[in-house]
Amino acid sequence: MLSLLSALWLATAPVTTSEQPVVRPPPPQCVFSQGRSVCGYQCKTTGTQTACARTPYGICEVLVGGVHCWDPPLVAIQHPPTTSAKPECKESRGQVACGYNCRQFNGEVACNRTPYGVCSTNFNKLTCWDPPDAVIHQYGAETPAPRCLNASEDMACGYDCKATRTEVQCANTPDGVCRLDNQRFTCFDPPSLLHCDHSAPPPPRH
């Protein structure tokens, strides 16, 4: 009888789960320069300029005599990649671009806005493309890599790309499809039915 009561008590006892502690972001900093204070993250200063990132996930770099700060979009913060990809800034011929996977080509510089994008070149032109936010929300760190395809002077990036000798079209999502029939393109992307309810984002990597 006692063992039966013990079993009944164990069955009705509330199950306690250990909650993960919320990781708080590091506190912002303030830098006083040129008679004023600038606050934020990753603050950098030159002799004439001071600037900070708005979030602890952002970066600031001193390039071409100025401070350039950039913050990733929320979708990139909420869904960090499994790789070591980090935002960066690069300069080419006085132009500065910040983001992920930055490329320099023929005097141009461009970056992706998320770690899941792709950059490619064709006919002396540098193009960067990122999947829509809904795709990254759906797949997270497993977001399929897009690709770029060129045909003559035309180039397009995305998924399931199709090309004629002079034109390229791609779907915008991994679930999309493109058909090429009698030299006519038909591309279709089903709508995302995903609803995201995010908790606190993961801590920044730097």
**DSSP track, 24-66:** PPPPPEEEEETTEEEEEEEEEE-SS-EEEESSTT-EEEEETTE
Two tokens at 3? Answer: 């063992």
CA distances from 41 to 47, 97, 121 (A): 19, 19, 33
> Which of 27-36, 50-59, 132-141 bottoms out in mean pLDDT, i.e. has the lowest?
27-36
For residues 138 and 133, give the distance between their C-alpha atoms in angstroms, rounded to a whole number.
9
Other CB atoms within 10 A of residue 117 CB: 21
For residues 148 and 27, give the distance between their C-alpha atoms in angstroms, rounded to a whole number.
40
- Cα–Cα–Cα angle for 90, 157, 186, nearest 5°? 165
* pLDDT beyond 90 at 63: yes
User: Which tens digit of pLDDT belongs to each residue from 94-146?
Assistant: 999 999 999 999 999 999 999 999 999 998 899 999 999 999 999 999 999 99
CA distances from 30 to 8, 42, 50 (A): 59, 10, 10
Task: List all residues 6 or more positions away from 28 whose beta carbon is below 8 Å from its beta carbon.
Answer: 39, 40, 41, 52, 56
Higher pLDDT, 10 or 56: 56
